[in-house]
Amino acid sequence: MRTTEAPRAPDPELEQWLRSALSTAGEGFDAPGLISTTHRKVARQRRRHAVATVAVTGMAAVALVATWQAVDPLAGTSDLLDTASQPDSVAQESVGQAGDPLLQRDGEPTAQEGAVPWQEASPPLTQEEQDLGTTEGETEPSHGDWQIPDPRPTGVAFLDDLGDPQQHLTGDNMPPVAGMVGNDAAHDTGATPVAGQNWFYYADGQDLASLTAEITVTGWQDAPAAMEGLRADNLHFAWDVDQLPGTWQGHEDDPDRFVFETFERTEDDGAGGLTPLGVYQTSAVVRVGDYLVAATVTADSPQEAEEAAREISEKAAENLAVLDPEHGTD
């Protein structure tokens, strides 16, 4: 659930600080232009990461003033203003701030400080949410002990092909991975999550061979222990079908990543047997901070199912680390 944030007025304390810092710039330096540009940059980045942005902006202003004092005022003015008006990434590189990636994937930087690495736009809502107008500020149902930001990645081809999710559930009594159920008496004393959100996408809800994706984010009092419990199958929730551990290439010994062996979905043939459906399902789980982030995918091939599940869970986990630093990081 997202609400639309009202535009912010210029921060009076930042305004005063900038004017004080630029008071010695001298005639010919466009201080009002720099101040205006700085305010616009702060307004843009506050929506991403308020604390980090103010720090970066302050450092940028200090660097600009220091640079101006080292050069001829008239000769340096245009260069300084050009730097201040550059896109965020360029301006940050010019002062050496926020250039380090928060997280990396395959050795490549995925995010600048304060930016959500895998959300180019707001993730799609269910039709019910759209009909209710929940983006206009209606209260989101409780997620449990705390409200979980929407970390779903955008720009993932498998999700884009499925379109908008058909179901969105919240609450603390939520299986951490699709396909788990809570009615196994042997697991009555197992750990349960304290917060949760789930989104379910499918191409055809009446067809068991439909392509699907289910994203589940659960919060835990002890997420590392919950991850171990998931591997050992001793959480409160148990598997409705037999699930075997798979191999996450490149992360075989990583305690915070887990992928299940892909299996072909079947249906009852009415004669006591099972009919293969020609689609394959798997789940991938990533722990980040207090969260377990799971993606369960049904696709046309085992490879596609596993690749999509790993991509979705990894990217959603990386988003959570930025969206919820309190619970999304260790």
- Side-chain half-sphere CA neighbours of 157 within 13 A: 5
**What is the pLDDT averaged over residues 72-78?**
38
Whether 95 is in a domain gets the answer yes
The residue-averaged pLDDT of 45-53 equals 37
Quick check: is 178 in a domain?
A: yes
| Higher-confidence position of 27 and 119 | 119
Cα(150)–Cα(288) distance, rounded to whole angstroms? 14
Q: Residues of the chain with pLDDT > 90: what percent?
A: 49
- Distance, in Å, from the CA atom of 84 to the CA atom of 174, rounded to the nearest integer, reads 47
Regarding predicted confidence, which is higher, 155 or 185?
A: 155
Please indicate, yes or no, whether residues 225 and 142 belong to a single structural domain of this protein. yes
Residue 68: band (very low, low, confident or very high) from pLDDT cuts 50, 70, 90:
very low
Residues 91 and 154 in one domain: no
Please give the average per-residue pLDDT across 297-310, as a whole number.
97
| Residue 152 and residue 95 share a domain | no
Q: 201 and 57 in one domain?
A: no
Tell me the CATH number at 294.
3.40.1000
pLDDT at 329: 96
Categorize the per-residue pLDDT at 181 as very low, low, confident or very high, splitting at 50, 70 and 90.
Answer: confident
Domains identified in the chain, total number: 2
Q: Give the Cβ contact number of residue 145 at 10 Å.
A: 15
Task: Choose one of 99, 114, 143: the last residue of a domain.
Answer: 99
Cβ-based neighbour number of residue 258 at 10 Å = 23
> Mind listing the pLDDT tens digit for each residue in 265-293?
999 989 999 999 999 999 999 999 999 99
275 assigned to some structural domain: yes
Same domain, 218 and 310: yes
Q: Is residue 108 part of a domain?
A: no
Inside any domain, residue 120: no
DSSP assignments along 33-63, one per residue: HHHHHHHHHHHHHHHHHHHHHHHHHHHHHHH
DSSP structure class, residue 122: P
- Does residue 178 register a pLDDT over 50? yes
Question: Does residue 108 sit in helix, strand or coil?
Answer: strand
**Vertex 316 angle, CA 132 and 118, to 5°:** 90
Q: Tens digits of per-residue pLDDT, 94-117?
A: 333 332 333 444 444 344 556 999
The CA distance from 199 to 159, in Å, is 11
Residue 88 is assigned to a structural domain of this protein: yes
* Same domain flag for 235 and 305: yes
- Confidence class of residue 16 from pLDDT cuts 50, 70 and 90? low
Tokens of 228: 């171990």
Contact 279, 265 (CB under 8 A): yes
Residues 172 and 210: beta-carbon distance below 8 Å: no
Question: How large is the average pLDDT for residues 33-41?
Answer: 47
25 in any annotated domain: yes
pLDDT, the chain, mean:
74
What domain range is 39 assigned to? 12-99
In the chain, where do the E strands start and end?
104-105, 108-109, 167-170, 180-181, 195-202, 212-219, 238-239, 257-259, 263-268, 274-288, 291-299
pLDDT in tens, 213-272: 999 999 999 999 999 999 988 899 988 777 788 989 899 999 999 999 999 999 998 999
Closest CA to 294 of 180, 162, 176: 176
- Predicted confidence at residue 238, as pLDDT, reads 85
Asked if the structure places residue 236 within a domain, the reply is: yes
Task: With a cut of 90, say whether residue 212 has pLDDT above it.
Answer: yes
The residue out of 81, 99, 117 marking a domain boundary is 99
Residues 134 and 183 in one domain: yes
Are 175 and 27 in a shared domain?
no
Same-domain pairing of 18 and 165:
no
Report CA dihedral (79, 93, 42, 15) to the nearest 10 degrees.
Answer: -50
**Residue 216 shares a structural domain with residue 322:** yes
Domain termination site, one of 45, 79, 99:
99
Say what the pLDDT of residue 98 is.
31
Contacts 24+ apart (CB under 8 A), 154-159: 154/118, 154/119, 154/120, 154/121, 154/122, 154/123, 155/118, 155/120, 156/118, 156/308, 156/311, 156/312, 156/315, 158/213, 158/297, 158/299, 158/304, 158/308, 158/311, 158/312, 159/201, 159/213, 159/312
137 and 265, same domain (yes or no): yes
**Residue 150 shares a structural domain with residue 287:** yes
